[in-house]
């Protein structure tokens, strides 16, 4: 084997091992791996599974609300959400059918909601107004009509 060929083989192998060590350290020592032990449920039985058997807005503390929400073609349940300004809202969501998106315009809240999985997200709403909620995952023929609003008073 040519000397340069050997050098490049050693260098590239060392580079791969180096990357594996760095990502392995991040994943196992620093806990930067994708989430595991996710909360799952039977997507066929969303209506019978707590808390999705009773979707809605619930006050859980001083300026703190919990919104249990199901997403389905082509709507969000509950359709009307109203919270006072300054509220922290914990969303607990799942899909009844296909993959949907949950994006709240004007905030950083933007997540995917998949059937069989429970998605949780928290957002503080400081400014009063009507916040547009959009599905941003193509979910079928009515995808472009899938929207709702969050009213912050």
For residue 135, state whether it binds ligand CUA (rule: CB under 6 A): yes
Hey, which residues does 65 pair with through a beta bridge? 59, 89
User: Half-sphere exposure of residue 24, counting CA atoms within 13 Å on the CB side?
Assistant: 6
Which two structure tokens, joined as six digits, stand for 83?
């919270």
46 contributes a contact to ligand CUA by CB under 6 A:
no
| H helices present in the chain, as ranges | 3-24
Give the shortest CB-135-to-ligand CUA separation in angstroms: 3
Hey, how many other C-beta atoms are within 10 angstroms of the C-beta on 96?
A: 18
β-bridge pairing 100-104 and 129-134: antiparallel
Binding flags for ligand CUA, 61-100, as an x/- string (CB under 6 A)? -------------x-------------------------x
Residue from 46, 93, 109, 146 touching ligand CUA (CB under 6 A): that is 146
**Is 143 near ligand CUA (CB under 6 A)?**
yes
Binding interface with ligand CUA (CB under 6 A): 74, 100, 135, 137-139, 143, 146
């Amino acid at each position: 084997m040519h000397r340069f060929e050997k050098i490049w083989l050693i260098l590239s192998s060392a580079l791969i091992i180096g990357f594996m060590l760095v990502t392995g350290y991040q994943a196992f020592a620093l806990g930067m791996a994708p989430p595991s032990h996710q909360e799952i449920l039977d997507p066929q039985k969303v209506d019978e599974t707590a808390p999705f058997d009773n979707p809605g807005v619930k006050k859980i503390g001083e300026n703190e609300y919990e919104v249990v929400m199901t997403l389905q073609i082509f709507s969000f349940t509950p359709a009307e959400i109203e919270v006072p300004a300054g509220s922290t809202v914990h969303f607990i969501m799942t899909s009844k059918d296909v993959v949907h998106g949950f994006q709240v315009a004007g905030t950083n809240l933007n997540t995917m909601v998949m059937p069989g999985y429970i998605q949780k997200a928290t957002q503080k709403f400081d400014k009063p107004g009507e916040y547009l909620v959009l599905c941003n995952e193509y979910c079928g023929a009515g995808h472009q009509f899938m929207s709702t609003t969050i009213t912050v008073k």
